[in-house]
Amino acid sequence: MTDTALPDGLIPLIKNTTRLAVVACAVPGMTGPQRIEHLAGFSAGTISRWGGDAHKDLMPIEVAFLVEFLTQKPIFARALAALTGHKLVPIAEDEDALAELGMADLLDLSASSSRVQTVVADALQDGKVTPAERREILKVKAAHHDVLTRIARKLADVDERGA
């Protein structure tokens, strides 16, 4: 682990997420730590330190990706999404995942674009962006990005169908 100053609570979140991910790796006949030891080549002691609050060691990013892929449980991804005020849902559970692009999407796009413009204009009214205004801009930008992403997914479906 580096000596980089991290926000309070981030290391406990990483450690807890690591413990959950390790447990999720269990399969019949093999515990989570045993499976990671077998697949990634790390010792049981090292794997234990990744989740131990008394140790600075963190799970390497490539192992976190491997765990997420093997278990098909987005434990780290869900924690990262929560850090930015988002939630992670499977694409199939997204209510608009299978719908076609329509006028409702155009209205959502127009509304979210207008909201971004309004919030940025309000923030720039006095010529200086405050931390609270910055947070609000990032929040509406993220919502606008979600609308654009949903539209892009629907357009990708059109390309695949050849319609």
Give residue-wise pLDDT tens across range 105-136: 888 899 999 989 999 999 999 999 999 999 89
pLDDT value at 90 more than 70 = yes
pLDDT value at 86 more than 90 = no
| Phi, psi (deg, nearest 5) at residue 90 | -60, 145
Average of per-residue pLDDT values in the chain = 86
pLDDT of res. 67: 94
User: What does the pLDDT average to over 74-90?
Assistant: 87
- Of the pLDDT bands very low, low, confident and very high (cuts 50, 70, 90), residue 5 is confident
| Phi, psi (deg, nearest 5) at residue 30 | -150, 130
Question: Residue 33: in which H helix or E strand, if any?
Answer: helix 32-40
pLDDT of res. 61: 95
Q: pTM score, two decimals?
A: 0.55
pLDDT value at 55 more than 80 = yes
List Cβ neighbours of 59 (8 Å cut-off, separation of 6 or more): 18, 21, 50, 67
The answer to whether the beta carbons of residues 150 and 105 sit under 8 Å apart is yes
pLDDT value at 95 more than 60 = no
The DSSP-derived string for 60-106 is -HHHHHHHHHHH---HHHHHHHHHTT-----GGGSTTSSSPP-HHHH
pLDDT of res. 43: 95
